[in-house]
A and B are shown apart, each in its own frame.
Chain A
Amino acid sequence: MKPSSPAMAGEPSANYNFAFLDEQTKRMIRRGLLKAVAIPGHQIPFGSREMPLPYGWGTGGIQITASIVGPDDVLKVIDQGADDTTNAINIRRFFARTAGIATTERTDRASIVQTRHRVPEKPLRAGQILVFQVPTPEPLRWLERREAETRKMHALAEYGAMHVNLYEDIARFGRIAKSYDYPVLVNGRYIMSPSPIPKFDNPKLHMSPALQLYGAGREKRLYAVPPYTEVKSLDFEDHPFRIERWTEACALCGAGDSFLDEVVMDDAGGRMLVCSDSEYCAERRAAGHRGKAAP
């Protein structure tokens, strides 16, 4: 596979081990990942390393990617759905430099997709790996501050309190207002935080053919959802889980089935709804689709 641009190509730097992390650390993380895959949705502690990146920018995701990447892998990195944001570009360049691997912006060409806040619109296929950057891995944390207690709640599957959160939303707003990091029940057993993806993406996690790995660097936790695993969003019988809907289509590509970002255009209230997935939007435009604000 050809690298996407000459600037990102090249031999791995001789000053670093392949993909930055030392081999012992990679082994430790891989062991954690194996355990995480074996117990879907269960959080596995790991010895998170300091990375050349601040906490909150994807230290967990980057460590997972560094541990699983091989010389033949092709990496795509997205941040809020876009391939062209600072964080995404930097992480791509980091791996191009330290591992000399090819990078891409195309989901179907990538073998590993590291992501923050979104799941690509384009369906993933078997064999691909989706790596999530997670800020708060513990879905019970809002309710219970003691780590020992949340672990016990997970161990005994005492999850009644999770619905208290949803109850509060309905009591206050008349509907479940939580729109991102929407808690899910994995494989009928563990409640898991899907990382701050919009709830729009929750259905994509269910029975996904791709392997999903989650890494929280600051909180030092790994967890995973193996391919074809049941992922159910929590809800009430009389207030079922619903994803976001928009009254408009993407202003650039006219897509009516994608997650839309609201972009403020001026200081007179002008705004535009566009696809958050930059690759999806660009491909549709290249195929001739036009939205109402398209040039």
Chain B
Amino acid sequence: MSRVPLLCAEGVAKSFGARVACRDVGFELHAGEILGVVGESGSGKTTLLRCLAGQLTPDAGRVAYADRSGALRDVFAMSEAERRRLARTEWGFVHQNPRDGLRMGISAGANVGERLMAVGWRHYGAIRASALAWLANVEIAADRIDDLPAGFSGGMQQRLQIARNLVSEPRLVYMDEPTGGLDVSVQARLLDLLRRLVQRLQLASVVVTHDLGVVRMLCDRLMVMQAGEVVEEGLTDQVLDDPQHAYTQLLVSSILPA
């Protein structure tokens, strides 16, 4: 693992008026590493994720990202053009609701190909081939390539969203409850798929979730948030098997025994 982290956050804070969404969050994420962020609803997980992804400007703190040249650069000191370029080339963002991450009015193939066209691909055959390959990667049948995502099941839409994000071979993917709203068997398949892709592509990822099962399957490290603050962090197994903070203990003991 390289010395320079891929993503580095220091003292990130964001409030909406008097309401504090997150406060003093800091961590380092290295290439190929997966960080889970858990906490109850309203604990500031999604706000934190949006701050990291450059979609919300934090009130305080710093988010730095090391691009392919290897130098850490402050995400919010970049020009908007650069930030948006990063967001569609080196980053991915998987929304909880696939409708937020997909273009529902255009075909599955075009959804996957859009990022390629955005970075200058102008050969229809090549775009098509790449879209087909990615649909296969996320286990969507090739004959669905020209169908609208609106006709897909929730699980398929979520997989399509993942393909759309990964097609440009990003190095860092933000995921906001990637398995939320899916039934258990579909969740399991999706997690399997994610784990395989993440390993194969050496992706780094920040996964926000309230599902400890997802965390155990996917994440190397874990951050537990409560009321906008990080109350505990460490290796996933360590935190889940030996929780120190009262809230984490409550969280872990709340899982129904299978």
Which chain A residues have a beta carbon within 8 Å of chain B's beta carbons? Answer: 143, 152, 156, 158, 160-161, 163-164, 167-168, 170-172, 235-239
Q: B146 near A167 (CB under 8 angstroms)?
A: no
Which of the residues B81, B109, B115 comes within 8 Å of A167, measured between beta carbons?
B109
A160-B118, A164-B106 known; A170 vs B80 contact (CB < 8 Å): no
Q: A161 near B118 (CB under 8 angstroms)?
A: yes
Residues in B neighbouring A164, C-beta threshold 8 A: 103, 106, 110, 113-114, 117
Give Cα distance in the complex from A152 to B118, angstroms. 15
User: Does chain A have a CB within 8 A of B68?
Assistant: no
Residues in B neighbouring A238, C-beta threshold 8 A: 123-125
Give Cα distance in the complex from A167 to B106, angstroms. 10
Which chain B residues have a beta carbon within 8 Å of chain A's beta carbons? Answer: 80-81, 84, 88, 103, 106-107, 109-110, 113-115, 117-120, 122-125, 127-128, 145-146
Interface centre among A143, A152, A164 (most CB of B within 10 A): A164
Q: B81 near A171 (CB under 8 angstroms)?
A: no
Q: Which 9 A-B pairs have the closest CB atoms?
A: A160-B118, A163-B117, A236-B124, A160-B117, A237-B123, A156-B81, A164-B110, A167-B110, A171-B146
Give Cα distance in the complex from A48 to B106, angstroms. 34
Which of the residues A158, A171, A236 comes within 8 Å of B118, measured between beta carbons?
A158
What are 27 A-to-B residue pairs whose CB atoms are below 8 Å?
Answer: A143-B103, A156-B84, A158-B84, A158-B118, A160-B114, A160-B115, A160-B118, A160-B119, A160-B120, A161-B114, A163-B117, A163-B122, A164-B103, A164-B106, A164-B110, A167-B110, A167-B127, A168-B106, A171-B110, A172-B146, A236-B122, A236-B123, A236-B124, A237-B123, A238-B123, A238-B124, A238-B125
Residues in A neighbouring B128, C-beta threshold 8 A: 171
Residues in B neighbouring A152, C-beta threshold 8 A: 80
Q: A171 near B109 (CB under 8 angstroms)?
A: yes
Which of the residues B88, B114, B145 comes within 8 Å of A171, measured between beta carbons?
B145
Residues in A neighbouring B107, C-beta threshold 8 A: 168, 171-172
Q: A168 near B110 (CB under 8 angstroms)?
A: yes
